[in-house]
């Protein structure tokens, strides 16, 4: 494919993606308008900051997985990863210093991510199975390590990472913004980022054009694990305690956020900003359901419908654009 | 891959297995053995129960085997584990059903196999049991609720954090909360939402409710994990409210000492595990056991946390005599 | 027999077979009572529901798809069945209704994937939410009890020593086997995975059969609900959540793969048995719970590593 044609193709994809992104932002605005009409409690500064804080926690987990999905892969182990990393970090904080805890959490997350990557690239286990197996293995290790106990009560300055404010904005939101910025630059403006998209779009072609596919795949899985490690620190700080199942409810919302955000499971299409919008939309809906005291039984149904709608919009617009 | 090869493989495998197991044939374990079924590996409450049962079994010289679902609270997992346990024929089983209705056939299977079963904590909806050991969930909720409202001087807004929607103990505890609220006309219930007995969910629900209701004076949480989650939310939002929980875990006691949690009603896992195991072992040894064992449900606050302050590993079971006399005939609604 | 041809023979046997044999031998040695008739019967009973889900999952995976909604649909069908039975409806029409619920969701999955072009992971994730939500709202998270004696006694019945659920599983397996390898629909299933365009060019209503594959998945979830409800003597909305992941793992471990559009149904049976043997054996040997959890993950990974090694050895011989 000539450079000009490739550029045009990419531009078409990007403009399709831009349209999709606009639809999503419109969706967020719509939900906000609806909620502010339905209840007075929604449109307050503190509530909106809460929503951002809750969304940033989902986003931190989902951001790494977005990179994996861009390569047409999947990481089902992130929830378990957050659990183990948080528990190890908690133990490290108790026995040493806060800094040791942070390093431990990040190291644990990164290590698990690297193992996932090696399974996919070296042992050639399909990502679904590799990360699903890893999920169970990590859970087992976490259960054994925690032995049904809770580790709790951490220093104030550590807890600020999760529940504190800086200049009136929750600290996790800063982390989310930093992550979005760094990730955005990485995916859009670096060669490595372009290579990741290329691998997702057509792995054979990418390999033939000289992309070190294995190294990039290892990279994305490791990053996914590292982000899980970062998320585990923030969760730990927020909850002020670690239990073995701290990460279990995270996997599905992360995947939902990614899907709602327009990243395609087939690889090659999507963005971190999409995942952010997806995370915000999801959190808005759940926040609204709490404010309106809609029963929790309705949550899976609502989430399922939103995921379907969001992806259908993408598929329909893509079809029309002929792409 | 032809059918022939597959068939030969299957035949060889089964033959090998049967031959090997014949060579291993021996009678069951010589010592006494009991089995304890708990709901999951992650909730510290069940770990306390397991530790209590372990201690009792150790003191009485009996072997104990634990069965915990690999998927937390999974009904099919516990069903399969019951079937697998029956093969091993423990002398008695101490049983916490993951679902008080769906596990009834499993209890029936144990009954049919002639294995005596002690029902612990969650009352199963059917089946033959040697005894039931536990707390009355409604009383737990009632005691906690009454204590909170008293501390609120009978006036103000409260929210309820429910447990897992549809679970029997959640409904009973919430029922107790509601009864306490009804008794105090100056108190308004502004919201009641499920927190799944989990800390993070309770935290986020409380956060959201704090937005919706600018005046919240009290929080009734159906377990300690959720109470602690609510406390985190209140701290982060710089709001004040009085919080009660249920379970009397070590972490709750620490929070009480720190003045963050007002109280928790005691349904202590460790002692329940002790008594459950003791009842099962006594039954094996043909010693008398009561048909119902209801623990008093005292409210633990800063004045009386006493023994609960120890981590479970350092505790040891009370003797049967000290417990049996006071508990066996105590009516519900103590404290 | 030369070493080379021995190696060729050895690598022709799929990894799951080695794994299954190894597990059976190990548990027989380590766990007294493992290879006893009652325990083998238990393994059969415990594996039958999973097999009912894994068989249509094989077809779906062969068509390069996935169905994440099976556990939730099973729950909804089970709750429907239980409610009808508790309301006095006879077993046969209630069972038909439950299967109908499953079939409807299966068709919806098929339409979403085939007509609207939404990827199977997403479509079935969506229907998972809808089915789970419907079941939760209808029952408020509670079991539905009072289903009467007919279903439980049917479930508890046995024929020549084989329990009802095992009989059903065997029968369903034989049906699926015949369909895949002996009927035109079976060839279509292979083609939909391997070479969809040529099928359409040959004048076949490919879309219809493709939807049919997903409909079959929903239908089997409904049938499996019969067994689970009989087992629990109640309908429960969330009891089966997560089973579809076990089914997917069993299918992949058994040798069917996501990409190549080929499949091996006996492999699915072996995969299901391997999972069943592992779970049962770990209980009989009284392995600690956290180690059990880790072993299940390790099993899945090891099976695929064996296959990966096998394939690279084969490529060399």
pLDDT band for position B23 (cuts 50, 70, 90): very low
Residue C28 lies in a domain: no
Contact A154, A237 (CB under 8 A): yes
pLDDT of residue A322: 54
Q: Is A261 helix (H, G, I), strand (E, B) or coil?
A: coil
Q: Which fold has domain A13-320?
A: ABC transporter involved in vitamin B12 uptake, BtuC (1.10.3470)
B212 vs A290: CB contact, 8 Å cut-off?
A: yes
Q: Which of A251-260, B28-37, B198-207 shows the lowest mean pLDDT across its residues?
A: B28-37
Mark A178-188 as b/e (b = at least 16 C-beta within 10 Å).
ebbeebeeebe
Task: Tell me the residues of chain B between 109 and 148 that have a Cβ less than 8 Å away from chain C.
Answer: 125
d(CA A302, CA A288): 12
Residue C149 lies in a domain: yes
Given the DSSP bridges, would you call strands C158-159 and C162-163 parallel, antiparallel or unpaired?
antiparallel
Cβ-based contacts of B47 with chain C (< 8 Å):
none
d(CA B264, CA B144): 7
Residue C255 lies in a domain: no
Is B319 an interface residue toward A (CB < 8 Å)?
A: no
pLDDT of residue B312: 76
Domains in chain C, number: 1
Say which DSSP state A263 is in: -
- C-alpha dihedral (B216, B222, B228, B232), degrees to nearest 10: -30
Chain A positions with Cβ closer than 8 Å to B? 39, 41-42, 44, 46-47, 50, 54, 143, 146-150, 152-153, 163, 235, 238-241, 243-246, 248-249, 286-287, 290-291, 293, 295-297
Element (DSSP H or E) covering residue B33: strand B33-37
B125 vs C145: CB contact, 8 Å cut-off?
A: yes
What average pLDDT does the segment C147-175 reach?
94
Looking at the DSSP bridge assignments, the partners of residue A242 are: A151
pLDDT of residue C163: 94
* Closest of B89, B3, B94, B17 to residue B52, by C-alpha: B94
pLDDT of residue B326: 58
Closest Cβ–Cβ partner in C116, C252, C293 for A136: C293
Cβ-based contacts of A287 with chain B (< 8 Å):
208
Closest Cβ–Cβ partner in C24, C143, C289 for B17: C24
Q: Is the pLDDT of residue C216 over 80?
A: yes
- CA neighbours closer than 13 Å in the CB half-sphere of residue B223: 24
Is B43 an interface residue toward A (CB < 8 Å)?
A: yes
Locus of tokens 């299957």: B10
* Closest of A144, B81, B62 to residue C284, by C-alpha: B81
Contact B280, B130 (CB under 8 A): yes
Residues for chain C: how many in total?
A: 317
Q: Is A195 helix (H, G, I), strand (E, B) or coil?
A: helix
Tally of CB atoms within 10 A around A282: 27
C308 vs A123: CB contact, 8 Å cut-off?
A: yes
Q: Which of A80-94, A160-174, B73-87 shows the lowest mean pLDDT across its residues?
A: A160-174
Q: Is B160 helix (H, G, I), strand (E, B) or coil?
A: strand
pLDDT of residue B56: 95
A244 vs B42: CB contact, 8 Å cut-off?
A: yes
- CA neighbours closer than 13 Å in the CB half-sphere of residue A293: 14
Q: Is A165 helix (H, G, I), strand (E, B) or coil?
A: strand
Contact B209, B235 (CB under 8 A): no
Task: Tell me the residues of chain A between 24 and 53 that have a Cβ less than 8 Å away from chain C.
Answer: none
ipTM at complex level: 0.88
Is C290 an interface residue toward B (CB < 8 Å)?
A: yes
The model's pTM: 0.89
Q: Is B27 helix (H, G, I), strand (E, B) or coil?
A: coil
* Closest of A189, A183, A191 to residue A263, by C-alpha: A183
Looking at the DSSP bridge assignments, the partners of residue B264 are: B245, B300
Higher pLDDT, B45 or C177: C177
Measured between its terminal Cα atoms, the distance across chain C in Å is 15
pLDDT of residue B12: 56
Tokens standing for residue C27: 């548990």
pLDDT band for position A136 (cuts 50, 70, 90): very high
Q: Above pLDDT 90, what percent of chain B? A: 56
A291 vs B208: CB contact, 8 Å cut-off?
A: yes
pLDDT of residue B330: 41
A125 vs C304: CB contact, 8 Å cut-off?
A: yes
What average pLDDT does the segment C62-80 reach?
95
Cβ-based contacts of C133 with chain A (< 8 Å):
297-302, 304
pLDDT band for position C14 (cuts 50, 70, 90): confident
Q: Which of A25-34, A68-77, B8-17 shows the lowest mean pLDDT across its residues?
A: B8-17
Residue C19 lies in a domain: no
Structural domains of chain B in order of their starting residue, each with its CATH number:
33-135+269-295 (3.40.50.2300), 137-266 (3.40.50.2300)
Closest Cβ–Cβ partner in A123, A126, A140 for C293: A140
Q: Which of A103-117, A165-179, C60-74, C187-201 shows the lowest mean pLDDT across its residues?
A: C187-201
Looking at the DSSP bridge assignments, the partners of residue B95 are: B37, B119
Q: Is B133 helix (H, G, I), strand (E, B) or coil?
A: strand
What average pLDDT does the segment B129-156 reach?
93
Locus of tokens 């006893």: C36
Q: Above pLDDT 70, what percent of chain B? A: 87
Element (DSSP H or E) covering residue B190: strand B187-194
Cβ-based contacts of C248 with chain A (< 8 Å):
128, 132
Cβ-based contacts of A299 with chain C (< 8 Å):
133
Interface test with A, best of C68, C111, C290 (most A CBs within 10 A): C290
Is B112 an interface residue toward A (CB < 8 Å)?
A: no
Residue C92 lies in a domain: yes
Is B13 an interface residue toward C (CB < 8 Å)?
A: yes
**Whole-number mean pLDDT of chain B?**
86
Closest Cβ–Cβ partner in C24, C279, C296 for B80: C279
Question: Is residue B186 exposed (0-12), middle (13-18) or buried (19+ Cβ within 10 Å)?
Answer: exposed
Is B318 an interface residue toward A (CB < 8 Å)?
A: no
Cβ-based contacts of B204 with chain A (< 8 Å):
54, 286, 290
Residue-range definition of the domain harbouring residue C138: 41-244
pLDDT band for position B27 (cuts 50, 70, 90): very low
Highest mean pLDDT among B28-42, B51-65, B202-216, B302-316: B51-65
B41 vs A241: CB contact, 8 Å cut-off?
A: no
What average pLDDT does the segment B209-227 reach?
92
Residues 6+ away with beta carbon under 8 Å from C37 = C161
C222-243, pLDDT tens digit by residue? 999 999 999 999 999 999 998 9
Question: Is residue A136 exposed (0-12), middle (13-18) or buried (19+ Cβ within 10 Å)?
Answer: buried
pLDDT of residue C203: 84
Question: Is residue C148 exposed (0-12), middle (13-18) or buried (19+ Cβ within 10 Å)?
Answer: middle
A235-288, pLDDT tens digit by residue? 999 999 998 888 888 898 999 999 999 898 888 889 999 999 999 999 999 888
B44 vs A150: CB contact, 8 Å cut-off?
A: yes
B286-300, pLDDT tens digit by residue? 999 999 988 878 888
Residue C13 lies in a domain: no
Cβ-based contacts of C121 with chain A (< 8 Å):
265
C128-157, pLDDT tens digit by residue? 999 999 999 999 888 999 999 999 999 999
Higher pLDDT, B25 or B100: B100
pLDDT band for position A229 (cuts 50, 70, 90): very high
Residue C119 lies in a domain: yes
Residue C252 lies in a domain: no
CA angle C152-C156-C161, nearest 5°? 165
B237 vs A46: CB contact, 8 Å cut-off?
A: yes
A170-205, pLDDT tens digit by residue? 999 999 999 999 999 999 899 999 999 999 999 999
Q: Is the pLDDT of residue B332 over 70?
A: no
Is B329 an interface residue toward A (CB < 8 Å)?
A: no
pLDDT of residue A74: 93
């Amino acid at each position: 494919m000539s450079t000009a044609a490739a550029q045009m193709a990419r531009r078409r994809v990007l403009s399709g993606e831009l349209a999709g992104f606009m639809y999503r932002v419109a969706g967020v605005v719509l939900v906000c308008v609806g909620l502010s009409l339905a209840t007075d409690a929604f449109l307050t500064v503190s509530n909106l900051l809460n929503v951002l804080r809750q969304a940033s926690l989902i986003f931190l987990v989902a951001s790494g997985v977005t990179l994996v999905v861009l390569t047409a892969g999947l990481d089902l182990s992130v929830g378990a990863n957050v659990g183990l990393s948080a528990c190890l970090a908690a133990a490290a904080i108790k026995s040493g210093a806060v800094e040791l805890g942070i390093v431990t959490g990040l190291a644990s997350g990164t290590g698990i991510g690297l193992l996932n990557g090696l399974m996919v690239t070296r042992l050639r286990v399909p990502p679904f199975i590799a990360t699903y197996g890893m999920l169970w293995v990590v859970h087992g290790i976490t259960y054994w390590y925690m032995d049904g106990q809770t580790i709790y009560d951490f220093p104030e300055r550590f807890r600020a990472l999760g529940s504190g404010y800086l200049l009136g904005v929750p600290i996790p939101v800063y982390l989310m913004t930093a992550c979005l910025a760094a990730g955005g630059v990485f995916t859009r403006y670096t060669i490595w980022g372009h290579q990741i998209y290329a691998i997702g779009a057509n792995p054979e072609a990418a390999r033939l054009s000289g992309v070190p596919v294995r190294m990039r795949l290892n990279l994305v899985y490791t990053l996914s694990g590292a982000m899980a490690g970062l998320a585990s620190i923030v969760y730990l700080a927020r909850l002020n305690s670690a239990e073995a199942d701290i990460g279990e409810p995270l996997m599905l919302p992360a995947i939902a956020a990614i899907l709602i955000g327009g990243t395609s499971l087939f690889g090659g299409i999507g963005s971190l900003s999409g995942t952010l919008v997806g995370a915000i939309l999801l959190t808005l809906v759940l926040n609204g359901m709490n404010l309106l005291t809609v029963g929790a039984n309705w949550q899976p149904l609502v989430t399922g419908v939103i995921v379907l709608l969001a992806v259908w919009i993408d598929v329909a617009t893509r079809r029309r654009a002929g792409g | 891959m032809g059918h022939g090869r597959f068939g030969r493989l299957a035949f060889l495998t089964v033959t090998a297995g049967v031959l090997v197991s014949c060579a291993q044939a021996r009678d069951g374990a010589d010592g006494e053995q009991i089995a304890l079924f708990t709901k999951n590996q992650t909730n510290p409450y069940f770990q306390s129960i397991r530790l209590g049962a372990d201690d009792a079994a150790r003191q009485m010289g009996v072997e104990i085997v634990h069965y915990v679902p690999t998927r937390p609270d999974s009904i099919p997992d516990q069903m399969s584990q019951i079937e697998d346990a029956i093969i091993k024929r423990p002398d008695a089983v101490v049983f916490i059903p993951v679902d008080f209705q769906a596990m009834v056939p499993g209890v029936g299977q144990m009954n049919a196999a002639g294995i005596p079963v002690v029902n612990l904590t969650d009352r199963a909806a059917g089946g033959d049991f040697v005894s039931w050991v536990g707390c009355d969930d409604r009383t737990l909720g009632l005691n906690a609720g009454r204590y909170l409202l008293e501390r609120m001087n009978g006036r103000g807004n409260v929210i309820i954090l429910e447990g897992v929607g549809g679970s029997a103990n959640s409904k009973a505890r919430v029922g107790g909360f509601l009864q306490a609220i009804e008794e105090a006309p100056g108190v308004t219930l502004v919201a009641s939402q499920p927190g799944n007995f989990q800390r993070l969910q309770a935290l986020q629900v409380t956060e959201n409710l704090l937005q919706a209701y600018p005046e919240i004076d009290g929080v009734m949480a159906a377990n300690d994990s959720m109470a602690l989650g609510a406390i985190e939310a209140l701290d982060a939002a710089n709001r004040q409210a009085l919080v009660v929980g249920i379970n009397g875990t070590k972490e709750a006691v620490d929070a009480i000492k720190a003045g963050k949690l007002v109280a928790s009603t005691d349904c202590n896992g460790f002692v329940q595990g002790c008594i459950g195991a003791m009842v099962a072992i006594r039954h094996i040894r043909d010693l008398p056991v009561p048909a119902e064992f209801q623990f008093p449900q005292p409210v633990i606050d800063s004045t009386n946390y006493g023994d609960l302050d120890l981590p479970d590993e350092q505790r040891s079971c009370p003797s049967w005599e000290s417990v049996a006399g006071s508990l066996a005939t105590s009516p519900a609604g103590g404290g | 027999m030369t070493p080379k041809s021995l190696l060729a023979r050895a690598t022709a046997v799929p990894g799951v077979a080695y794994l299954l044999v190894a597990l059976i031998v190990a548990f027989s040695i380590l766990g007294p009572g493992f290879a006893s008739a009652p325990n083998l019967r238990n393994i059969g009973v415990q594996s039958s529901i999973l097999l009912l889900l894994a068989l249509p999952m094989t077809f779906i995976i062969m068509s390069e798809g996935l169905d994440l909604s099976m556990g939730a649909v099973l729950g909804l069908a089970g709750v429907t069945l239980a409610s009808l039975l508790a309301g006095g409806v006879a077993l046969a029409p209630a069972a038909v209704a439950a299967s109908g619920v499953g079939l409807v969701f299966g068709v919806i999955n098929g339409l979403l994937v085939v007509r609207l072009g939404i990827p199977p992971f997403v479509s079935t994730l969506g229907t998972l939410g809808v089915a789970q939500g419907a079941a939760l709202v209808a029952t408020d998270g509670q079991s539905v009890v009072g289903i009467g004696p007919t279903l439980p006694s049917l479930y508890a019945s046995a024929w020549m020593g084989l329990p009802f659920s095992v009989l059903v599983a065997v029968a369903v397996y034989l049906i699926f086997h015949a369909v895949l390898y002996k009927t035109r629909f079976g060839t279509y299933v292979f083609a939909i995975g391997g070479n969809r365009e040529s099928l359409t060019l040959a004048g076949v209503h490919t879309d219809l059969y493709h939807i049919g594959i997903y409909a079959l998945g929903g239908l089997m979830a409904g049938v499996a609900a019969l067994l689970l409800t009989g087992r629990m003597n109640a309908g429960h909305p969330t009891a089966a959540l997560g089973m579809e992941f076990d089914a997917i793992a069993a299918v992949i471990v058994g040798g069917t793969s996501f990409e190549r559009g080929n499949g091996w149904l006996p492999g699915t049976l072996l995969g299901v048995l391997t999972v069943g043997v592992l779970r049962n054996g770990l209980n009989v040997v009284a392995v600690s719970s956290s180690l059990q959890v880790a072993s299940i993950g390790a099993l899945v990974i090891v099976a695929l590593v064996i296959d990966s090694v096998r394939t690279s050895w084969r490529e060399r011989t």
